[in-house]
Structure 1
């Protein structure tokens, strides 16, 4: 990966933490929670603390960044994001998904320190999902200890309190609003999967959170907007510094060949096709070429790498 220092990494996170239009997902497929607070974080003891009407969060140094681009199901589209990862450690093992009573000793407000909370039994080493009931609902909530998460999710959602996702370097607390913001994919947890297979996470890295900055071609999934080159440039600079070096080099080489009207064959490694992540990078580059220039990539590239884009371009003409 890149040689970005912890200071450089944390400086970037400080700009993104609380920035408008940046969505966060905290956790892994075994347990995660969305977080979209906006505001200016405070630096308290070297940690960034963000507070809002719907919750609060604390970000500490230590995470490694992986910027990435993946394919969208929309034939002209793509996705992008930044994973906050931890390097090293044992492969994650799923927890039993049964609730247990714990003391919330990492609460972000002093008055909540050591208050009883329910560990939801989701996640794995380094990741906890909690529900800290309000004092008025504490007795009712703690009666659910020992039950399976699937059997008491709705009962917990009806109670006042705070939903919590806690990782080695990021903790978020969301005020309960009658819905449950904690999600989990049981099959992924059982298999020890932590992230989508399409995300090019380096071997030995474990993503504990994801940031999704504004996208240059859509407001949100399903709602497109005219391509915004400034938004695109911002993320490309992050990708160049914090993406996987082999994939960013492949993207640069693909763009150079497109600009020089060279054929695609030599973009492949000798004697083999690119792996799934490399193919995705080439296809994303082709889609961005169309978005940036308004010109369809040469047919030889599309027929070799991106038939959905080829069909979309043909239907457009």
Structure 2
């Protein structure tokens, strides 16, 4: 049964997460994504039709009519001792975006702007697009407008260096638009921030890969992730920055996993935890990568929590890299 602290309404749950400055949110697709980082002054408004969250330099809107399904997951990390977690914001595949040109083109005033005052401002499709997202550029700056219009028809990655430099130092809004909502970044540079990087992560090779999400994440058939919620990690302050294990944050995410995770994988995880705690003999190798990864996550979490007794036979079967990493730790001889 779902925890009473977790609302049934996906938008209401997202709103509670976005009220926490330690929670992160991203919108986009594989190869082009914007990361929305809250701050202590972020304003979260849950309206009838959408969530709107405003923070310094960025505004996020997630639509109620997007037929959202939340899918919680845990995956193994590239760090052989750790794991990742998150909640995918999915929509059904019938709502995915139509194919877009890979060239820069003007689309007219931005009628979908979050702020009504921006709905008359000229907007350009950058040509960075997939069924999950498109990147838009919105500006009223005359020099930048002239440059963008002059280079309409070019692939975004082939724009001259002079245009990219102008993009980096002009007042412009970078927008990630998806079937579940949009994320707008206001670039209003000052003399102290002229080297500000592009607020949208764009990778040409990832866009060309044909992937729509990381292979380690299990997404139910017929659904597509267009964004992610990242609640605080119990063992990491940030990627590559370990912290003292926070049991409350761990238990909080386990409640989220029980509520929004794929039922078969959650059941496997809970059974594995029970088997290890009972000292049960190791099961045979599992059928799918996702099933195997669930067991590997359990092993990593138990080690992090200091419950390493009896894990070596399991690591021998399911996670040799973890076993080797454990054997190399300075305290290995004392266990």
Rounded to whole Å, the distance in 1 between the matches of 2:8 and 2:299 is 34
Identify the residue that residue 41 of structure 1 maps to in structure 2: 44
* Runs of 4 or more above 6 Å deviation: 90-94
How much does 1:7 deviate?
Answer: 4.7
Name 1:249's counterpart in structure 2.
267
* Unmatched runs of 5 consecutive residues or more in structure 1: none
- Give yes or no for the alignment of 1:53 onto 2:56: yes
Q: Any residues of structure 2 matched to 1:226-241 within 5 Å, and which?
A: 226-241=244-259
Matches within 5 A, 1:134-283: 134-136=140-142, 137-152=144-159, 153-176=164-187, 177=189, 178-265=196-283, 268=284, 273-283=286-296
C-alpha distance in structure 1 between counterparts of 2:243 and 2:152, whole Å: 47
Shift of the alpha carbon at 1:190? 3.3
C-alpha distance in structure 1 between counterparts of 2:95 and 2:117, whole Å: 35
| Separation in 2, partners of 1:140, 1:81 | 40
Q: 1:242 to 1:302 in 2, by over 3 A?
A: same
1:124-177 alpha-carbon deviations (Å, 9 max, x no partner): 245221010134443333333222111234442232111001112221110125
Aligned residue pairs, count: 309
Give the equivalent residue in structure 1 for 2:118: 112
Is this contact kept in 2: 1:216–1:232, CA < 8 A? yes
Q: 1:291 aligns with which of 286, 304, 307?
A: 304
Offset, 1:297: 4.2
Alignment TM-score, normalising by the size of structure 1: 0.89
8 Å contact kept, 2:51–2:63:
yes
- Listed as ranges, the gaps of 5+ residues in structure 2 are 190-195
SS at match of 1:130: strand
- Counterpart in 1 of 2:32? 31
- Matched residue SS, 1:89: helix
Task: Give the corresponding residue for 2:106.
Answer: 101
